[in-house]
Amino acid sequence: MKFVNQLSTNRKEILTYGISMFAVLFVLKYLEANFIVINYRLDFFIGSIAILFTVLGIWLALHLVKPKIETRIVEKEVYIDSSIGTEINQDEIERFGLSKRELEVLNLMSAGLSNEEIAEKLFISLNTVKTHSSNLFVKLDVKRRTQAVEKGRRLNIIAQ
C-alpha cells in the first residue's frame, strides 16, 4: 500500500492498536452471545463500529507517520556584524557535546516556548522535553532555562 513506507515500525503503537481491537471484538462477542444488541439495531451497531475504528485508524496514522521535518534551524536573516561573527558556532556545540534534539529544544526555549509547547512542536511527550532540557542544563553547566538561553546566545549556539 501507499502509506506503508511512510510508517515507522513502532511496535508499541501497533501493540496498543491490536489490543484495543481485540478488546472491542471481545465485547462484541459478548454482546452477540447475550443477544443484546444484535437483533435490536444492527445498523446503528455497525455504524458505531465504523466510527470507532475510523477514529482508531486516524489515531494510528497520526501516531505512526513520521513527522517529516526533523531539524529546522531556521535562519531567516543572518545579521553579520563586521567584527563579530553571528554564524552558529559548530565547534562550541561539539565542545559541549550537545545532541541534535537538545539543540532543537534549546532553540525553542530561546524563542520563549514552554516545555509543553516544545513537546507539541516536536511531536514528543512533555517528559521527553524535560529529559532533553535536563541533560542540556548539565552539559551547559547551568541551572535554569534562562541561563541556558543566555549562555547559548553568548556562545553563538542559538539561531539569533
121 within 8 A of 108, measured Cβ to Cβ: yes
DSSP 155: T
By the rule CB under 7 A, 145 interacts with DNA: yes
Binding mask 120-139 for DNA (x = CB under 7 A): --x-xxxxx-xxxxxx-x--
What is the three-class DSSP state of 65?
strand
By the rule CB under 7 A, 114 interacts with DNA: yes
Question: Out of DNA, a second copy, none, which partner does residue 4 contact, by CB within 5 to 8 A per kind?
Answer: none
**Dihedrals φ, ψ of 113, to 5°?**
-80, 150
- How far is it between the farthest Cα atoms of the chain? 82
By the rule CB under 7 A, 2 interacts with DNA: no
In the block, residue with C-alpha cell 556562545? 155
By the rule CB under 7 A, 9 interacts with DNA: yes
By the rule CB under 7 A, 10 interacts with DNA: yes
The set of cell numbers assigned to 105 is 529544544
Select the residue interacting with DNA from 60, 93, 96, 102 (CB under 7 A): 102
Residues in touch with DNA (CB under 7 A) = 8-12, 97, 99-102, 114-116, 122, 124-128, 130-135, 137, 143-146
